[in-house]
Protein backbone atom coordinates (compact mmCIF):
# COMPACT_ATOMS: atom_id res chain seq x y z
CA UNK A 1 0.00 0.00 0.00
CA UNK A 2 1.25 3.48 -0.88
CA UNK A 3 1.11 6.24 1.66
CA UNK A 4 0.16 9.80 0.72
CA UNK A 5 3.75 11.03 0.63
CA UNK A 6 4.87 8.30 -1.80
CA UNK A 7 1.90 8.93 -4.08
CA UNK A 8 2.59 12.65 -4.14
CA UNK A 9 6.27 12.12 -5.03
CA UNK A 10 5.38 9.52 -7.63
CA UNK A 11 2.89 11.85 -9.32
CA UNK A 12 5.55 14.55 -9.29
CA UNK A 13 7.99 12.24 -11.07
CA UNK A 14 5.35 11.36 -13.66
CA UNK A 15 5.02 15.05 -14.43
CA UNK A 16 8.82 15.30 -14.74
CA UNK A 17 8.89 12.36 -17.14
CA UNK A 18 6.16 13.96 -19.19
CA UNK A 19 8.11 17.21 -19.45
CA UNK A 20 11.37 15.40 -20.33
CA UNK A 21 9.80 13.29 -23.05
CA UNK A 22 8.38 16.35 -24.75
CA UNK A 23 11.67 18.26 -24.44
CA UNK A 24 14.61 16.06 -25.48
CA UNK A 25 13.34 12.41 -25.36
CA UNK A 26 15.71 11.54 -22.52
CA UNK A 27 14.63 8.95 -19.94
CA UNK A 28 14.42 9.14 -16.15
CA UNK A 29 15.31 5.78 -14.55
CA UNK A 30 12.66 4.41 -12.18
CA UNK A 31 15.47 3.35 -9.79
CA UNK A 32 16.06 7.02 -9.01
CA UNK A 33 12.45 7.33 -7.85
CA UNK A 34 12.85 4.31 -5.55
CA UNK A 35 16.16 5.57 -4.19
CA UNK A 36 14.69 9.00 -3.53
CA UNK A 37 11.84 7.36 -1.65
CA UNK A 38 14.29 5.25 0.42
CA UNK A 39 16.26 8.38 1.33
CA UNK A 40 13.03 10.10 2.34
CA UNK A 41 12.08 7.15 4.55
CA UNK A 42 15.46 7.39 6.32
CA UNK A 43 14.72 11.03 7.10
CA UNK A 44 11.28 10.11 8.40
CA UNK A 45 12.46 7.11 10.45
CA UNK A 46 11.59 8.91 13.68
CA UNK A 47 7.88 8.99 12.76
CA UNK A 48 5.27 7.19 14.85
CA UNK A 49 4.32 3.66 13.64
CA UNK A 50 1.16 3.51 11.55
CA UNK A 51 -1.76 1.28 12.57
CA UNK A 52 -2.86 -0.27 9.25
CA UNK A 53 -5.52 -2.52 10.77
CA UNK A 54 -8.39 -0.20 9.87
CA UNK A 55 -7.17 0.19 6.31
CA UNK A 56 -6.99 -3.58 5.82
CA UNK A 57 -10.50 -4.03 7.20
CA UNK A 58 -11.90 -1.36 4.90
CA UNK A 59 -10.26 -2.97 1.86
CA UNK A 60 -12.12 -6.21 2.58
CA UNK A 61 -15.27 -4.59 1.27
CA UNK A 62 -13.88 -4.76 -2.29
CA UNK A 63 -12.98 -8.45 -2.00
CA UNK A 64 -16.19 -9.74 -0.42
CA UNK A 65 -17.13 -13.07 -2.06
CA UNK A 66 -20.73 -13.00 -0.82
CA UNK A 67 -22.61 -11.00 -3.42
CA UNK A 68 -26.04 -11.47 -1.86
CA UNK A 69 -28.73 -8.83 -1.97
CA UNK A 70 -28.14 -6.15 0.65
CA UNK A 71 -30.89 -5.11 3.02
CA UNK A 72 -34.06 -6.75 4.25
CA UNK A 73 -37.72 -6.05 4.90
CA UNK A 74 -38.28 -4.20 8.18
CA UNK A 75 -36.73 -0.74 8.27
CA UNK A 76 -34.70 -0.02 11.41
CA UNK A 77 -32.20 2.44 12.76
CA UNK A 78 -28.74 1.25 13.78
CA UNK A 79 -26.56 2.79 16.47
CA UNK A 80 -22.90 1.79 16.36
CA UNK A 81 -21.01 2.56 19.56
CA UNK A 82 -18.48 1.19 22.01
CA UNK A 83 -20.78 -0.45 24.55
CA UNK A 84 -17.83 -0.77 26.92
CA UNK A 85 -18.54 2.92 27.54
CA UNK A 86 -22.34 2.72 27.30
CA UNK A 87 -23.90 5.92 28.66
CA UNK A 88 -27.13 7.91 28.49
CA UNK A 89 -26.16 9.65 25.24
CA UNK A 90 -26.95 6.37 23.45
CA UNK A 91 -30.49 6.43 24.85
CA UNK A 92 -30.92 10.05 23.81
CA UNK A 93 -29.73 9.26 20.29
CA UNK A 94 -32.13 6.32 19.94
CA UNK A 95 -34.97 8.54 21.14
CA UNK A 96 -33.95 11.27 18.68
CA UNK A 97 -33.93 8.85 15.75
CA UNK A 98 -37.29 7.42 16.81
CA UNK A 99 -38.78 10.91 16.85
CA UNK A 100 -37.36 11.63 13.40
CA UNK A 101 -38.56 8.55 11.54
CA UNK A 102 -40.69 6.49 13.95
CA UNK A 103 -38.34 3.48 13.75
CA UNK A 104 -36.77 1.48 16.54
CA UNK A 105 -33.02 0.88 16.79
CA UNK A 106 -30.72 -2.12 16.79
CA UNK A 107 -27.71 -1.44 18.99
CA UNK A 108 -24.32 -2.61 17.65
CA UNK A 109 -21.29 -2.93 19.90
CA UNK A 110 -18.22 -1.63 18.04
CA UNK A 111 -15.66 -4.22 19.15
CA UNK A 112 -13.00 -2.68 16.90
CA UNK A 113 -13.20 0.62 18.82
CA UNK A 114 -13.58 -1.12 22.18
CA UNK A 115 -10.38 -3.12 21.71
CA UNK A 116 -8.48 0.17 21.41
CA UNK A 117 -9.83 1.63 24.65
CA UNK A 118 -9.65 0.42 28.23
CA UNK A 119 -10.50 -3.29 28.42
CA UNK A 120 -13.99 -4.53 29.27
CA UNK A 121 -14.76 -8.22 28.99
CA UNK A 122 -17.14 -8.95 26.10
CA UNK A 123 -19.19 -11.28 28.30
CA UNK A 124 -19.80 -8.38 30.69
CA UNK A 125 -20.73 -6.03 27.86
CA UNK A 126 -23.13 -8.60 26.41
CA UNK A 127 -24.90 -8.99 29.74
CA UNK A 128 -25.70 -5.35 30.36
CA UNK A 129 -26.16 -4.36 26.69
CA UNK A 130 -28.84 -7.03 26.19
CA UNK A 131 -30.54 -6.03 29.44
CA UNK A 132 -30.34 -2.39 28.39
CA UNK A 133 -32.09 -2.95 25.04
CA UNK A 134 -34.73 -5.10 26.74
CA UNK A 135 -35.39 -2.38 29.32
CA UNK A 136 -35.88 0.13 26.49
CA UNK A 137 -37.80 -2.02 24.02
CA UNK A 138 -39.92 0.97 23.05
CA UNK A 139 -36.94 2.35 21.14
CA UNK A 140 -34.67 -0.72 20.75
CA UNK A 141 -35.23 -4.00 18.92
CA UNK A 142 -32.07 -5.80 20.02
CA UNK A 143 -28.31 -5.91 20.39
CA UNK A 144 -25.53 -7.21 18.12
CA UNK A 145 -21.71 -7.28 18.08
CA UNK A 146 -19.71 -5.87 15.15
CA UNK A 147 -16.10 -7.10 15.02
CA UNK A 148 -14.96 -4.89 12.11
CA UNK A 149 -16.23 -1.38 11.28
CA UNK A 150 -17.64 -2.36 7.87
CA UNK A 151 -21.11 -1.52 6.60
CA UNK A 152 -21.19 -4.79 4.66
CA UNK A 153 -20.75 -6.68 7.96
CA UNK A 154 -23.74 -4.85 9.46
CA UNK A 155 -25.85 -5.93 6.47
CA UNK A 156 -24.68 -9.54 6.90
CA UNK A 157 -25.44 -9.62 10.62
CA UNK A 158 -28.90 -8.12 10.17
CA UNK A 159 -29.68 -10.51 7.34
CA UNK A 160 -32.98 -10.61 5.45
CA UNK A 161 -35.36 -9.41 8.21
CA UNK A 162 -34.00 -5.85 8.50
CA UNK A 163 -33.16 -2.91 6.25
CA UNK A 164 -31.07 -0.04 7.65
CA UNK A 165 -32.75 3.34 7.36
CA UNK A 166 -30.34 5.46 9.42
CA UNK A 167 -26.94 4.51 10.83
CA UNK A 168 -25.70 6.66 13.70
CA UNK A 169 -21.98 6.15 14.38
CA UNK A 170 -20.44 7.13 17.70
CA UNK A 171 -17.07 6.03 16.24
CA UNK A 172 -15.76 5.34 12.72
CA UNK A 173 -18.41 7.54 11.08
CA UNK A 174 -16.17 8.57 8.17
CA UNK A 175 -15.13 4.95 7.65
CA UNK A 176 -18.77 3.94 7.35
CA UNK A 177 -19.42 6.67 4.80
CA UNK A 178 -16.46 5.37 2.82
CA UNK A 179 -17.83 1.83 3.05
CA UNK A 180 -21.19 3.05 1.79
CA UNK A 181 -19.55 4.64 -1.26
CA UNK A 182 -17.62 1.42 -1.93
CA UNK A 183 -20.77 -0.69 -1.68
CA UNK A 184 -22.59 1.61 -4.09
CA UNK A 185 -19.77 1.01 -6.56
CA UNK A 186 -19.56 -2.75 -5.95
CA UNK A 187 -23.29 -3.48 -5.94
CA UNK A 188 -24.38 -0.78 -8.40
CA UNK A 189 -28.18 -0.44 -8.03
CA UNK A 190 -28.33 -3.31 -5.49
CA UNK A 191 -27.12 -1.18 -2.59
CA UNK A 192 -29.98 0.08 -0.41
CA UNK A 193 -30.06 3.76 0.54
CA UNK A 194 -28.90 4.47 4.08
CA UNK A 195 -28.39 7.73 5.98
CA UNK A 196 -25.10 7.78 7.89
CA UNK A 197 -24.99 10.40 10.62
CA UNK A 198 -23.01 11.37 13.68
CA UNK A 199 -25.00 11.37 16.95
CA UNK A 200 -26.09 14.60 18.61
CA UNK A 201 -24.67 15.36 22.10
CA UNK A 202 -22.58 12.20 22.25
CA UNK A 203 -19.98 13.30 24.80
CA UNK A 204 -18.38 10.60 26.95
CA UNK A 205 -16.91 13.20 29.28
CA UNK A 206 -19.32 12.58 32.23
CA UNK A 207 -18.66 8.83 31.96
CA UNK A 208 -14.89 9.27 32.15
CA UNK A 209 -15.12 11.91 34.86
CA UNK A 210 -17.10 9.48 37.05
CA UNK A 211 -14.35 6.86 36.67
CA UNK A 212 -11.53 9.35 37.17
CA UNK A 213 -13.12 10.75 40.34
CA UNK A 214 -14.13 7.30 41.57
CA UNK A 215 -17.71 8.52 41.96
CA UNK A 216 -20.38 5.83 41.75
CA UNK A 217 -23.07 8.49 42.10
CA UNK A 218 -21.78 10.36 39.03
CA UNK A 219 -21.60 7.02 37.24
CA UNK A 220 -25.25 6.30 38.04
CA UNK A 221 -26.28 9.73 36.75
CA UNK A 222 -24.66 9.28 33.32
CA UNK A 223 -25.32 5.59 32.59
CA UNK A 224 -28.41 3.40 32.10
CA UNK A 225 -29.57 1.35 35.08
CA UNK A 226 -28.54 -1.90 33.37
CA UNK A 227 -24.90 -0.78 33.57
CA UNK A 228 -24.92 0.17 37.25
CA UNK A 229 -24.27 -3.35 38.51
CA UNK A 230 -21.00 -3.45 36.56
CA UNK A 231 -19.37 -0.40 38.11
CA UNK A 232 -16.61 -2.52 39.69
CA UNK A 233 -15.66 -4.22 36.41
CA UNK A 234 -15.63 -0.95 34.46
CA UNK A 235 -13.72 0.93 37.13
CA UNK A 236 -11.13 -1.87 37.38
CA UNK A 237 -10.61 -1.94 33.61
CA UNK A 238 -10.28 1.85 33.50
CA UNK A 239 -7.71 1.92 36.33
CA UNK A 240 -5.58 -0.83 34.79
CA UNK A 241 -5.58 0.94 31.42
CA UNK A 242 -5.00 4.46 32.77
CA UNK A 243 -2.51 3.85 35.56
CA UNK A 244 -0.53 0.91 34.15
Same domain, 33 and 153: no
Same domain, 106 and 188: yes
Per-residue confidence band for 21, with pLDDT thresholds at 50, 70 and 90? low
> What are 166-200's pLDDT values in tens digits?
999 998 888 888 888 887 777 666 677 889 999 99
Same domain, 93 and 199: yes
For residue 111, give the nearest of 152, 79, 149, 140 by alpha carbon: 149
Instruction: Decide if 52 is inside a domain.
Output: no
CB 100 within 8 A of CB 189: no
Q: What is the pLDDT of residue 23?
A: 47
Same domain, 33 and 147: no
Same domain, 161 and 99: yes
Instruction: Decide if 157 is inside a domain.
Output: yes
Instruction: Decide if 106 is inside a domain.
Output: yes
> What are 33-84's pLDDT values in tens digits?
555 555 555 454 444 455 555 455 445 544 454 444 444 478 999 999 999 9
> What are 85-102's pLDDT values in tens digits?
999 999 999 999 999 999
Mean pLDDT of 97-124: 94
Instruction: Decide if 208 is inside a domain.
Output: no
Same domain, 18 and 130: no
Same domain, 95 and 173: yes
Instruction: Decide if 60 is inside a domain.
Output: no
Instruction: Decide if 194 is inside a domain.
Output: yes
Same domain, 30 and 76: no
> What are 59-70's pLDDT values in tens digits?
554 445 444 444
In the predicted model, is pLDDT for residue 227 greater than 70? yes
CATH number of the domain residue 89 falls in: 3.40.50.620
**Structural domain count, the chain:** 2
Q: What is the pLDDT of residue 193?
A: 82
Per-residue confidence band for 242, with pLDDT thresholds at 50, 70 and 90? confident
Same domain, 33 and 143: no
* Structural domain containing residue 76: 69-203
Same domain, 37 and 73: no
Q: What is the pLDDT of residue 185?
A: 75
Instruction: Decide if 78 is inside a domain.
Output: yes
In the predicted model, is pLDDT for residue 124 greater than 70? yes
Neighbours of 74 (CB within 10 A): 13
Q: What is the pLDDT of residue 62?
A: 45
In the predicted model, is pLDDT for residue 140 greater than 90? yes
Same domain, 29 and 77: no
In the predicted model, is pLDDT for residue 109 greater than 60? yes
Instruction: Decide if 131 is inside a domain.
Output: yes
| Residue partners of 149: CB distance under 8 A and separation at least 6 | 54, 57, 58, 80, 110, 112, 113, 171, 172, 175, 176, 179
Same domain, 74 and 149: yes
Amino acid sequence: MLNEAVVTRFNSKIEEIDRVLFDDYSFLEFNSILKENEDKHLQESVSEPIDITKGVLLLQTFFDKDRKKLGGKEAVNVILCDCGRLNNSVTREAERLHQLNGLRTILFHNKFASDRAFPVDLVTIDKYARKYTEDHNDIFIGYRVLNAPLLSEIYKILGDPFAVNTLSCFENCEDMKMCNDELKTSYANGCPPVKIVAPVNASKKPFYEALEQDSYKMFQNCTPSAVHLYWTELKSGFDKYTYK
